[in-house]
Amino acid sequence: MRYFIELSYRGTAYHGWQTQANGVSVQTTLEAALTRRLRQPVFVMGSGRTDAGVHAQQQFAHFEVEEPIIWTDALLYSINCMLPDDIAIRAIFPVRPTDHARFSAISRYYQYHITRHKNAFESGLTYHFRPALDVERMNEACRILLNHTDFKSFSKARANVTHFRCRLDFAYWERSEANLLTFHIKANRFLWGMVRTIVGTMLEIGQDGMTLDQFDQLINDQDRTLAGRAAPANGLYLVEVGYPDGVLAQRVSPGE
C-alpha cells in the first residue's frame, strides 16, 4: 500500500529535506516518527529536496507499507505529537501504486519573503534587506525571465541533472504590505539553488547594479558566474506542489 503525506515545516533547524550524513534533515525526522508509531521501518520520498534553512508551507511525500492502515484523527494526532513543533503533518491518505510524490508532480510554486524592517517575530522566516529597490525594474526582469526555458545560469554547478530546461508559469514581485516584498514563481521543475539565485540577481537589478540587457544576456550565456549571489535560505518557501487530477482524490484530513 502506498500513502501520500501532506506536511509543512520550518526549515531553520534542518540541513534540508534530504537525509544528510552531517546533520538532521526533515526526511530523517519524519521517518523516525512514522517508524516508531507504525512499528515498522518507514522510508519516505519527497516531492523535492529543499535546501538547508528553506521552509515548506506545503510539501508532499510518499511511503509504502505491506498492510493497509486505518487512518484516524487519533493516529495522525499521535504522529504529530512525536514530531518536533517545526514539522506538522496535515493529512496521510492512500494513492495508487503508480502515484509518485516526486515524479507525478507537475508543478512547484515558491515564494521568497523579504522584510524591509527588522521584525523580532520573523527571525529566520524572512530576509531582512534594507537597501532601496526598484520593484518595477525587478518585475521587468521577471518578464524577461519568462521568455526563457534554459536556466543553467541560475543552477549550482554540481547539479546532477541531464538538462537545465524549466517551464515557468509565472514570476513576479509583489508588495503585500508596506514592509514586506514577496517574489512568486511557479514552474514544472526547479534546478538546485535556482530560486535563491534568481532572487539574488534581481536584488542587484533592483539596486541598479545590473541592467536588464545584462540580465537577458547572462541567461543566454548559461554561465552561473555571471549571476548574482544566492539570497539567504531563510526567506524561501515551498508553497504548493501540483499533481494531475486524481492523485490527490482521497486527500481528506481525519476529522474533516
Same domain, 10 and 130: no
User: How far is 215 from 136, CA to CA, in rounded Å?
Assistant: 15
Question: Domain count of the chain?
Answer: 2
Give the residue numbers spanning the domain of 65.
2-104
Same domain, 235 and 150: yes
pLDDT of residue 119: 85
Instruction: Give a yes or no: residue 10 inside a domain.
Output: yes
Is 221 tagged catalytic?
Answer: no
Same domain, 144 and 196: yes
Instruction: Give a yes or no: residue 180 inside a domain.
Output: yes
Q: Which residue has the higher pLDDT, 187 or 21?
A: 187
Amino acid making up residue 6: E
Query: In the chain, pLDDT over 70 holds for what percent of residues?
Result: 96
Instruction: Give a yes or no: residue 255 inside a domain.
Output: no
Give the phi and the psi of residue 221 in degrees, each rounded to 5.
Answer: -75, -20
Same domain, 54 and 92: yes
Final residue of a structural domain among 79, 104, 129: 104
- The CATH number of residue 86's host domain is 3.30.70.580
Final residue of a structural domain among 62, 77, 104: 104
Q: Which residue has the higher pLDDT, 156 or 234?
A: 234
pLDDT in tens, 2-21: 999 999 999 999 999 998 87
pLDDT of residue 116: 87
pLDDT of residue 179: 81
Same domain, 194 and 132: yes
pLDDT of residue 153: 92
Same domain, 6 and 72: yes
Same domain, 181 and 82: no
> What is the arithmetic mean of pLDDT over 144-160?
87
Is-contact 65 40, C-beta < 8 A?
yes
Instruction: Give a yes or no: residue 245 inside a domain.
Output: no
| Catalytic, out of 51, 208, 213, 216 | 51
pLDDT of residue 156: 80
Same domain, 41 and 56: yes
Same domain, 141 and 234: yes
pLDDT bracket for residue 159 (50, 70, 90): low
Instruction: Give a yes or no: residue 226 inside a domain.
Output: yes
Same domain, 27 and 112: no
Cell of 253: 484530513
pLDDT in tens, 196-248: 999 999 999 999 999 999 999 999 999 888 888 999 999 999 999 999 999 99
Length of the chain: 256
CA distances from 144 to 132, 147, 156, 168, 209 (A): 22, 5, 21, 11, 17
172 is in an annotated binding site: no
Instruction: Give a yes or no: residue 26 inside a domain.
Output: yes
Amino acid making up residue 230: A
Average pLDDT, the chain: 92
- The CATH number of residue 216's host domain is 3.30.70.660
Output the 3-class SS for the chain: CEEEEEEEECHHHCCCCCCCCCCCCHHHHHHHHHHHHHCCCCCCEECCCCCCCCEEEEEEEEEECCCCCCCCHHHHHHHHHHCCCCEEEEEEEEECCCCCCCCCCCEEEEEEEEECCCCCCCCCCCEECCCCCCHHHHHHHHHHHCCCCECHHHCCCCCCCCCCECCEEEEEEEEEECCEEEEEEEECCCCCCHHHHHHHHHHHHHCCCCCHHHHHHHHHHCCHHHCCCCCCHHHEEEEEEECCCCCCCCCCCCCC
User: How far is 23 from 75, CA to CA, in rounded Å?
Assistant: 28
Instruction: Give a yes or no: residue 125 inside a domain.
Output: yes
Same domain, 93 and 156: no
pLDDT bracket for residue 256 (50, 70, 90): low
Cβ count within 10 A of residue 170: 12
pTM (two decimals): 0.94
Does 255 have pLDDT greater than 80? no
Nearest to 78 by CA among 34, 46, 24: 34
Instruction: Give a yes or no: residue 92 inside a domain.
Output: yes
Same domain, 123 and 64: no
Nearest to 7 by CA among 78, 73, 62, 64: 62
Final residue of a structural domain among 72, 104, 136: 104
